[in-house]
Amino acid sequence: MSSFELEFIQPPQPGTLRNFTTHLSYDKGLNAIAYPCGKSGFVRFLDDVKGVIQFNGHGNCNVIVVKFSPIQGSQYLCSGDDSGRVIVWGWSRDMGSGSFETVVKAEFQVLAGPVSDISWDFEGKRLCVVGEGRDKFGVFISWDSGNSLGEISGHSQRINACHFKQSRPMRCITVGDDGSVVFYQGPPFKFAASDRAHHDQGKFVRDVQFSPGSGEFAVTVGSDRKIVCLDGKTGEFIKYIEDENEEIKGGFFAISWVDESRFVTASADATIRLWCVKDSKFLGKWVIPGDALASQQVGVIATKDEQIISLSLDGTLNFLKIGEETPIKFLRGHNKGITALTVKPLISGSYDGRIVNWATSPETMRQDHSNLIVAIDNSEPPKYASVSWDDTLKVLSETVYKFEGQPKVSSSANNGGIIAIVTDSDYLLIMNAYTGEILQKKQLSEPASAIDIRGGLVAVGLERTNTIQVFKASDLAVNYKLPAALRATPSCVSISATESYLAAGDVMGKIILYDLKTKDIKTTRWAYHTSRVNSIAWMPMKDEDEDEDLVATASLDTNIFIYSVKRPMKTIKCLNAHKDGVNVALWENSQTLVSCGADACIKRWNISVQ
């Protein structure tokens, strides 16, 4: 029996938005953090590299916040999206395979605009959901039935954060863009007090939290660089927490309590600060290195063993420990859809111009380009070359060639540093990726929509006639067109390693296999995709005498299929491999396939073929 088994997920980093807080959540029992990225919610186990849960229940909406239930061992979470919907979901793990399953427990449409924060009460029964809306900016509901448990009032603009006191008597507090802090008593929850005086007029209050345990204090922070301490039972102003020797150079984004007397703040000056609430004392700070904008701290969560995890604007998770002056480690990666991938060594590029080299320890992240990465060549490690829509060919961060037109499609042979590129002015270029030297150049007869270079051949898919033109790589004057055209615009072409076959996929999901020796069609039965084919990869042969047989194909329809040349009707399916489409699938070896997609994940699959 053939099988397709997920071995490992490299999850994306938390999604961030400039000028907005990203609320992180931590579960002490699991030692895991939860966060949003794109249209998925993620749970990442800090002790287990393979422990990653991806929740895709929000459909086409972007997830804004994910929060753990406070009940230890409940395995419940609640997530909210930009359409105003909240979903309570649970997860379970198959102890045999180690794979995770998620199941939706409840789903409610609560707001007319994006949800910005969610808080569970300490009993794990009630939810406070806040954000933007037309008639209201938040709700109190019970998670199982969705019944209203009070009303949120006292705000005139978007609410940024909310928090339940984690003990009785029950209290809740909300803060918003109108500079107001509103206090509620319940259940049923109703307006008890508000404070508009202690944060500067016209500034945003971005985060609030009650102290753990008895909830003696509530602390709010905002863009006015002030930390305001309130009484946890009455909501009355107690004091500002400040230190005349510690100048704060950027607005606050987030707060998290370490214990009942100490808390940490994250601010736009790339600094995490530790404070004591009782003595109003500044206890220490960590300055995150890097670019001033990319290292703005937009989220923070205190974890166990005096550790703190903070989030930079570029998505990097910084691990800090009280008592140590420098960060212990950084977790880096993508938080936008991945568009280019190479294996051996594993390097990936996303549509925001970021390239991550996963082969180094720890992984290295570079913002090499300012636009989508079209192709990466890794044939001269540790160097790599990249082609991007910002019209450049770069080696590491150094530009070696500036294109006259935009590179539309590109393919790397990953052998000898040779790449093939078609620009939007319809020139086909064969180049040395590491020197920028043009080896061959030819004007095409019509625009191209797909390209592949392998060995001595270059194949180009032509847009208007839907045909495939095959060139000799060392002399582009030597070329021929395959007689049979595709049914739709070619979106992907792939030449086999022995140059015997060529597989061409189109935007409708159909793939035609050509025999390059006879130039005839070998099969048209590879037609199970329902949308654009993004990637076709030939399985490496175990023996040189073996005939080429298996082909992995990836599509915008989220599926990966493995087709066989010898048995065209035999397929191995992996449905819903990546949310919103698979962009690249490549063989690492004859048993392992690596894929990446619009969900910013990289997944490694174990393939067994019978």
Q: Tell me the DSSP string of 446-460.
A: S-EEEEEEETTEEEE
Where residue 235 falls (left for φ over 0; alpha for ψ -120 to 50; beta otherwise) is left
Q: How far apart are CA 290 and CA 343, in angstroms?
A: 28
SS3 325: coil
Give the integer Cα–Cα distance in Å for 438 and 440. 6
Q: 429 near 421, Cβ under 8 Å?
A: yes
The answer to whether the CB of 25 falls within 8 A of the CB of 33 is yes
For residues 390 and 370, the answer to whether their CB atoms sit within 8 Å is yes
Residue tagged 């609320």 (tokens): 23
| SS3 readout for 287-318 | ECCCCCCCCCEEEEEECCCCEEEEEECCCCEE
Report the distance separating Cα 403 and Cα 427, nearest Å: 11
pLDDT, residue 546, reads: 72
**363 with 348: CB under 8 angstroms?**
no
Q: Which of 556, 562, 553, 541 is nearest to 585 (CA)?
A: 553
- Mean pLDDT by runs of 10 across the 610 residues of the chain is 86 96 95 96 93 95 96 93 96 88 96 96 95 94 94 94 94 94 92 92 93 93 95 93 91 96 96 94 93 94 95 96 94 96 95 95 92 94 94 94 95 89 96 94 96 94 96 94 95 94 96 95 94 96 77 96 91 94 95 96 92
Predicted structure pTM score? 0.94
Burial (CB < 10 A; 0-12, 13-18, 19+), residue 384, is buried
Is-contact 107 85, C-beta < 8 A? yes
Burial of 580 (0-12, 13-18, 19+ CB in 10 A): middle
- Give the other-Cβ count within 10 Å of 170's Cβ: 18
Phi and psi of 364, rounded to 5°? Answer: -110, 135
d(CA 120, CA 129): 9
Q: Which residues pair with 349 in a beta bridge?
A: 340, 355
Amino acid 545: pLDDT = 63
Q: Which residues contact 237 (CB under 8 A, 6 or more apart)?
A: 195, 197, 198, 228, 229, 230, 231
**Nearest-angstrom CA–CA distance, 524 and 512:** 5
For residue 186, the 8-state DSSP code is T
pLDDT for position 1: 59
Position of tokens 């929000």?
58
Residues 6 or more apart in contact with residue 245 via CB below 8 angstroms: 282
Peptide bond into 188 cis (omega under 30): yes
Rounded-to-integer distance, Cα 594 and Cα 459, Å: 24
- Nearest Cα neighbor of 451 from 438, 443, 441, 461 is 461
Three-state SS string across 380-411, please?
Answer: CCCCCEEEECCCEEEECCEEEEECCCCEEEEE
Contacts of 277 by beta carbon, 8 Å cutoff, 6+ apart: 211, 217, 219, 229, 241, 261, 262, 263
Lookup: tokens for 14 = 């938390």
The alpha carbon dihedral of 340, 346, 347, 348 has a sign of positive
> What distance in Å separates the CA atoms of residue 361 and residue 354, rounded to the nearest whole number?
18
Q: How far apart are alpha carbons 483 and 468 in whole angstroms?
A: 8
Q: Does residue 502 sit in helix, strand or coil?
A: strand
Round to whole Å and give the CA distance between 139 and 370. 40
Cβ neighbours for 311, distance < 8 A, ≥ 6 positions apart: 14, 16, 22, 24, 35, 266, 297, 298, 299, 300, 317, 318
CB 221 within 8 A of CB 275: no
* Structural domains of the chain sorted by starting position, each given as residue range(s) with its CATH number in brackets: 241-331 (2.40.10.480), 338-537 (2.130.10.10)
Q: What is the pLDDT of residue 121?
A: 94
Q: By the 8 A CB rule, do 27 and 67 touch? A: no
Q: What is the pLDDT of residue 96?
A: 80
Q: How far apart are the first and last CA of the chain?
A: 6
> Which amino acid, residue 260?
E
State the Cα–Cα distance between residues 1 and 278, nearest whole angstrom: 65
Neighbours of 254 (CB within 10 A): 26
DSSP 8-state assignment for residue 62: P
To which H or E segment does residue 131 belong?
strand 126-131
What gap in Å lies between CA 588 and CA 347, rounded to an integer? 12
